[in-house]
Amino acid sequence: MLSHSERHYAERIGWLRAAVMGANDGILSTASLIMGVAAASATKDEVLIAGVAGLVSGAMSMAAGEYVSVSSQADSERADLARERRELSEKPEFERDELAGIYVERGLEPALAREVAVQLMAHDALSAHARDELGISELGSARPIQAALTSALTFALGAALPLLTALASPASQLSLIVAGASLAFLAAMGGLAARVGGAAVALGTVRVALWGALAMAATTAVGSLFGALV
């Protein structure tokens, strides 16, 4: 029997989502923070301190947020599986008919759907119901630690790019250089994420760069306004 070794884009969703979100947020939030502080007429040292603080706080925030969010998903999955396990024990015939009904709705003839349900439940009843009734699979199951660490690491790596750019830039052109470099970083990340995920590269690139430009423009405007008032 041949093994199924084909790789699918959906297999990358778990880590790709956390990695792309972390890196994009790291680049965008840190670049926007740097430009907003710079627009308020701060010194280069003050800008860099703000950037480092943004990197650390952002990475920790991403880790905490992802952990809490994905942990809640994992808790819900465990509760659903526990209930399904109890129902399989108490009323297996009903659960078999319920599974067969799902297959009928997907296009199988009733007799074949019943036979498929019987065979799958004989092999692993809980897995069959988790996958086809609850939509829970090993591929998409929640992994809080993985999501938290991935988000924190990728945020820090993303945030380091505009921060290092600011460090290497002359104070007089810091905002312009950081803005240009960060837009390039964001466009590259958007294109890479689209390519890895099997989506349109051009659309992913433009979408990320456009929203990045809007965010940096907004924080620069706010920084300029408060710099003039203070």
Query: Is the alpha carbon torsion for 153, 158, 164, 166 positive or negative?
Result: negative
Which residue did the predictor score with more confidence, 53 or 83?
A: 53
How far is it, in rounded angstroms, from Cα 27 to Cα 34?
11
- Binned at pLDDT 50, 70 and 90, residue 228 comes out as low
- Binned at pLDDT 50, 70 and 90, residue 10 comes out as very low
Running DSSP on this structure, what letter comes out for residue 10? G
pLDDT tens, residue by residue, 98-135: 888 888 988 888 899 888 888 888 888 888 888 887 77
End-to-end CA distance of the chain: 74
* AA identity, residue 161: L
Running DSSP on this structure, what letter comes out for residue 141? -
pLDDT of residue 183: 92
For residue 72, give Cα distances in angstroms to 66, 75, 78, 129: 10, 5, 10, 21
- Binned at pLDDT 50, 70 and 90, residue 9 comes out as very low
Q: What integer is the mean pLDDT of 82-108?
A: 86
Residue 147 sits at φ, ψ, to 5 deg, of -65, -40
How far is it, in rounded angstroms, from Cα 7 to Cα 81?
27
Long-range CB pairs of 101-106 (<8 Å, 24+ gap) are 102/132, 102/133, 103/132
User: Is the per-residue pLDDT at 142 higher than 70?
Assistant: no
Domain ranges of the chain: 12-229
User: Is the per-residue pLDDT at 85 higher than 90?
Assistant: no
- Binned at pLDDT 50, 70 and 90, residue 140 comes out as low
Tokens, residue 20: 């792309």
Q: What integer is the mean pLDDT of 202-215?
A: 87
Work out the mean pLDDT of the chain and round it to a whole number: 83
- Identify the CA nearest to 189 among candidates 9, 19, 7, 15: 19
Share of the chain above pLDDT 70, in %: 87
pLDDT of residue 145: 85
Residue 67 sits at φ, ψ, to 5 deg, of -65, -45
How far is it, in rounded angstroms, from Cα 230 to Cα 4?
65
pLDDT of residue 2: 43
pLDDT of residue 180: 93
* AA identity, residue 216: M
